[in-house]
Structure 1
Amino acid sequence: MRILFAVAPLTAHLYPSIPLAWALQSAGHEVRVASNTGLVEQITAAGLTAVGLGESTSPPAPITEGQLDRFSDALGFEAGSDFDRLWRATRYYLAAAYTRYHPDEEGRQELADNLVETARNWQPDLVVWDPACPVGSVAARECGAASARMLWGPDYFGWVRRRLIERMNDPASGVSADTDPLAAILAPVFGRFGHDFSEELLFGDFTVDPIPSQLPRPQGLRRIPMRWVPYTGAGSVPQWLSRPPSRPRVCLSLGVTGRTVQEGRDARVTAAFEAVAGMDIEVIATVNADQLGKDTRVPDNVRIVDYLPLTQVMPTCSAVIHHGGFGTFFAAATHQVPQMIVKEDLGSALNSTRYLEARGAGVVLHSDGLSAAEVGKQLSRLLTEPSFQEGALAVHADIMAAPGPCEIVPILERLATQYRSRD
């Protein structure tokens, strides 16, 4: 069987799919992973065959504030409600994800064109696509392949769609198929290949879902649960890391993707460094020069590493301080490490923090007004109070309850046979 993975050009979207690609490849299937050419090195470093779709770095088609406001009005959440907060934290991201593959003024879109052409030429039996790469669904349709979404975090896309359908079914809402903002945004992506917007194109035939069942998700979609197996990049283990730590080790990581969003010194790094100075611990800070800043004093007990796969360092850690991204969250959770999330109003953090607190597996601080004193106080709790380790064990048990990637391969084989078609 041939399986094509289609991934938006972000490592945070690529890495969660790699263990499933490994499982399918190890079962004897031909696997290729298609994305922006900038991810080819990361794909091949994981031992997978890459398909570079192009160097296109043009920004997504612009979505005006007026369009976003109309989208917000269509969703109709009560101002200040939890759902309203979640939407406002994710709306720019969702708009960018849905419009990344829009055609330009001349009707061209390099990444979309090359992905669809790859599918037509290679004729995969199954296309596994990133929700932030909706043209992956079109590629599956164009070659008659079974179509599977592959989540890398909470199903924001399904959540938004289910809310819009609910509103369109309510005559009092004023939202109808004619005013459907999601259909309007995706129409250029689907339409340029001759397809109308539809629920089938939006969601595919089924969804591979690696998020623990304890987290909320929209209902009504066919889901294949899968255990999250953390992959955080390839690299050799440094000599110093091969030796067991002589005192509690804490990892500080603010994510790889965030480096491309935030410029200049990160106040969270400064607060953390002030907090740990003088503590009898060892800190591994995976931050780069921009996040560190020119004038930040690095305490003697802090080791700066520009990049280190978290799967290498996490097994040696007693705690982790991070931004709430799901890649970091699951790397820590899989190794039963208590966590401190210093969150901003970002989508993944809004979900991971609630789950973390509900399980008692860590503490949550907000980046606004963050103080070194509070970081130090909460970090001391993580390292000394047994309840946090018990909570980390509970989260680990939640993760392990789902079938692993190798276990769902036979399911995907059956579904690919069921849904694929040939003219």
Structure 2
Amino acid sequence: MRVLVVPFPWKTHLYNLVPLAWSLRTAGHEVRVAGWPDLLDAVTGAGLPGLAVGPGETPEVRGRRDRRQTSERAAAAKRAPQQGLGPLFDLRPDRERLGWEQVSRVFDDLVLPQARRSNDPMMEDLVALARSWRPDLVLWGAKAFAGAVAAAAVGAAHARVLYSVDVYARLREDFLHAQALQPPGRRPDALRDWLAGWAGRYGVEFSEELVDGQFTVAPFPEAFRPDPRPATLPVQYVPYNGPAVVPGWLAGPPRAPRVLMTFGDSVDDGPLRLLPVERVREILDAVADLEMELVLALPPQARRELREVPANTRVVESVPLPEVLPTCSAVVHHGGTWSFGGALRHGVPQLLIGRAFDAPLKFGCLERAGAGTAMSPDQADGPAVRSALLRLLTDRDLRANARRLGEETRAMPSPNDLAHTLQDVVAAHRAGRAPAVR
């Protein structure tokens, strides 16, 4: 069968799809990846055939625009109702739902603007590509709604592939619940209107499948899927982080319990975005007397600003996470897919310090599973991080829970297993039957 892979236009989201794309190729299927032009080097670097859809801009232009949009998103976040979102992250089965004003403003200020910026520029090219190549299956990364529209335009089966906990489906459910309680004629739905406008151009009627997919591929253990949904295919997280060279210091065993501290894409060529350099220095001083080997990944400029570090700290520019995490006793990170998923896979206790929109739900799932702890960047001072690290390194129950999650992760269907299941789902779709998913 022909499989079209459509990532959300960020390299990290593309990398999340690479193992499954390769599993489908090695199972004998034709696979192509359609992405913004500045993603194509990463696509071809992964050995996959790429097709450009969307604006032909250089990485430099994209970077300037993204930095501007980051500021815009921060301003939107301040306008959005940050207080009172607790029900969205409540893990209890009988949780309350968000109210109409809260949930509609989150969609209007955060979800829809990001969706339009990322999908509108590639929509027409992607539909034209789908009509020309006629894929049987479209796998679209979460928030890459253009993939759903293109699949519907040609009658292909399609699935949303998650990269994290499914906070956006939970948010959509709260929206629809609150909308149904509004008076008739006063039930605006900007996300529906946007997707219906695009779908209507290609003779497709709107359905919630354009938002959630015909089914969902979920990469984390059951503990991180708090809302059981029937149309879900689980798959174990298998890391791909791009080309990497294994550093020489990984050749032998660590001289002391190894702790990785990394903040992934929350760093740039200036100071840390998540934590200022002064705060990082405070944390390093607070843990300087602990018997451990702290591996701190920082970009060059931040390394220069940090200056001297304690004797138990090794500062590196980058690390190949699949190689270093199996050697670690703990990891401190911002909650990104690579570090979070890798720590789960290898049973490593985690301290999450982050502020992403999905962070509270991810944090809650981790703490409920007893495999780590979390704090906001504002809470992450020297004493707090020291206390959390000591717990990660010494709490036997916490460490056992982390190992258990690692075993559960590795016991999930592999991408190779899922490739065979997807073939059956597409066959059922062709026959007009409901996809055989659980």
Aligned-pair RMSD on alpha carbons? 3.4
Which piece of structure 1 moves more, 43-52 or 214-223? 214-223
Tell me how far apart the structure 2 counterparts of residues 214 and 39 of structure 1 sit (CA, whole Å).
Answer: 32
User: Once the 2 structures are TM-superposed, how far is the Cα of residue 304 of structure 1 from its aligned partner?
Assistant: 2.1
User: Once the 2 structures are TM-superposed, how far is the Cα of residue 312 of structure 1 from its aligned partner?
Assistant: 1.3
User: Once the 2 structures are TM-superposed, how far is the Cα of residue 331 of structure 1 from its aligned partner?
Assistant: 0.4
Question: Match of 1:256?
Answer: 265
Does 2:32 align with 1:38?
no
Question: Match of 1:169?
Answer: 180
Contact 2:298 2:317 in 1 (8 A): yes
CA offsets 1:266-318 (integer angstroms, 9 cap, x no match): 55533432233233321211221354462553223322222222111101111
Contact 2:277 2:305 in 1 (8 A): no
Does 2:65 align with 1:55?
no
User: Once the 2 structures are TM-superposed, how far is the Cα of residue 263 of structure 1 from its aligned partner?
Assistant: 8.2
User: Once the 2 structures are TM-superposed, how far is the Cα of residue 352 of structure 1 from its aligned partner?
Assistant: 2.4
Question: Match of 1:398?
Answer: 408
Q: Percent identity?
A: 32
Which piece of structure 1 moves more, 79-88 or 378-387? 79-88
Question: Match of 1:331?
Answer: 342
Contact 2:153 2:203 in 1 (8 A): no
Question: Match of 1:100?
Answer: 117
Question: Match of 2:310?
Answer: 299
User: Once the 2 structures are TM-superposed, how far is the Cα of residue 51 of structure 1 from its aligned partner?
Assistant: 2.1
Contact 2:180 2:187 in 1 (8 A): no
- Cα distance change of structure 1 residues 68 and 141 upon mapping to structure 2, 3 Å threshold: farther
Q: Please list, as runs of the form range in 1=range in 2, the aligned pairs for 1:225-244 lying within 5 A after superposition.
A: 225-244=234-253
Question: Match of 1:23?
Answer: 23
Tell me how far apart the structure 1 counterparts of residues 281 and 296 of structure 2 sit (CA, whole Å).
Answer: 11
Does 2:209 align with 1:200?
yes
Amino acid aligned to 2:414: G
- Cα distance change of structure 1 residues 225 and 271 upon mapping to structure 2, 3 Å threshold: same
Question: Match of 2:376?
Answer: 366
- Cα distance change of structure 1 residues 399 and 321 upon mapping to structure 2, 3 Å threshold: same
- Cα distance change of structure 1 residues 21 and 66 upon mapping to structure 2, 3 Å threshold: closer
User: Once the 2 structures are TM-superposed, how far is the Cα of residue 3 of structure 1 from its aligned partner?
Assistant: 0.7
User: Once the 2 structures are TM-superposed, how far is the Cα of residue 100 of structure 1 from its aligned partner?
Assistant: 2.0
Question: Match of 1:347?
Answer: 357
TM-score (norm 1): 0.84
Question: Match of 2:93?
Answer: none
Contact 1:310 1:331 in 2 (8 A): yes
User: Once the 2 structures are TM-superposed, how far is the Cα of residue 257 of structure 1 from its aligned partner?
Assistant: 5.5
Gaps of 5+ in 1: 104-108
TM-score (norm 2): 0.82
Contact 2:153 2:199 in 1 (8 A): no
Q: Please list, as runs of the form range in 1=range in 2, the aligned pairs for 1:139-288 lying within 5 A after superposition.
A: 139-170=150-181, 173-174=182-183, 178-218=187-227, 222-256=231-265, 259=268, 262=273, 265-266=276-277, 269-288=280-299
Gaps of 5+ in 2: 91-97, 433-438
- Cα distance change of structure 1 residues 271 and 24 upon mapping to structure 2, 3 Å threshold: farther
Tell me how far apart the structure 2 counterparts of residues 263 and 379 of structure 1 sit (CA, whole Å).
Answer: 18
CA offsets 1:128-160 (integer angstroms, 9 cap, x no match): 001211010111123332111111112233222
Question: Match of 2:436?
Answer: none
- Cα distance change of structure 1 residues 258 and 154 upon mapping to structure 2, 3 Å threshold: farther
Question: Match of 2:332?
Answer: 321
- Of 64, 81, 87, the residue aligned with 1:82 is 87
SS of the residue 1:256 aligns to:
helix
SS of the residue 1:331 aligns to:
helix
Amino acid aligned to 2:369: R
Which piece of structure 1 moves more, 14-23 or 259-268? 259-268
SS of the residue 1:100 aligns to:
helix
Contact 1:167 1:175 in 2 (8 A): no
Tell me how far apart the structure 2 counterparts of residues 134 and 327 of structure 1 sit (CA, whole Å).
Answer: 22
Question: Match of 1:106?
Answer: none
Tell me how far apart the structure 1 counterparts of residues 280 and 274 of structure 2 sit (CA, whole Å).
Answer: 13
- Cα distance change of structure 1 residues 35 and 421 upon mapping to structure 2, 3 Å threshold: farther
Which piece of structure 1 moves more, 115-124 or 21-30? 115-124
Tell me how far apart the structure 1 counterparts of residues 414 and 321 of structure 2 sit (CA, whole Å).
Answer: 20
